[in-house]
Amino acid sequence: MWVEHVLNPKTITSIYPAEPPSLSQVQLHELSVICGGDLQCRLRFDLKDFPVDAPIKWVQQKSNTVQLSLNLIQTELIQCTIPGGSGIGALSVIHDGTRFQVTFTTQPQGVAFQAIATWIHVDNISSYQNELR
């Protein structure tokens, strides 16, 4: 599982203790490239599924959507096509033992983003009330 290999897995496993959240049908909100010493990419997206045992704060706020922000560190081989439409697609995060291959695919356009990164850091996990759900 990809979550086991990120720099701070507890950020996700504390919210989803049984199994990591599905990365299918995520809604991509932001894709940014950060130039500097090591090239980085930040992906910010909504997950399809809300946790069964959500934190009490999220329940009190009547949240229904989880937003996750991942920072891909030491990124290379970036390919990006700006998809039209809703930004809903499948995010694939595969760890091959040394690096991560990250791909975001939409229908019917196909691969919209692809990168290879040495590390992934979970920048943020939060919730909000999505009026569209």
* Domain-located, residue 20: yes
Cis, bond preceding 17 (omega within 30 deg of 0): no
Contact 42, 71 (CB under 8 A): yes
The tokens describing 34, both together, are: 């950060």
Per-residue confidence (pLDDT) for residue 49, from 0 to 100:
93
Total number of domains in the chain: 1
Give me the domain span that covers residue 35.
2-128
* Domain-located, residue 91: yes
* Domain-located, residue 14: yes
* Domain-located, residue 133: no
Q: What percent of the chain has pLDDT over 70?
A: 98
* Domain-located, residue 45: yes
* Domain-located, residue 124: yes
Per-residue confidence (pLDDT) for residue 73, from 0 to 100:
95
pLDDT, tens only, 47-99? 999 999 999 999 999 999 999 999 999 998 788 887 667 788 999 999 999 99
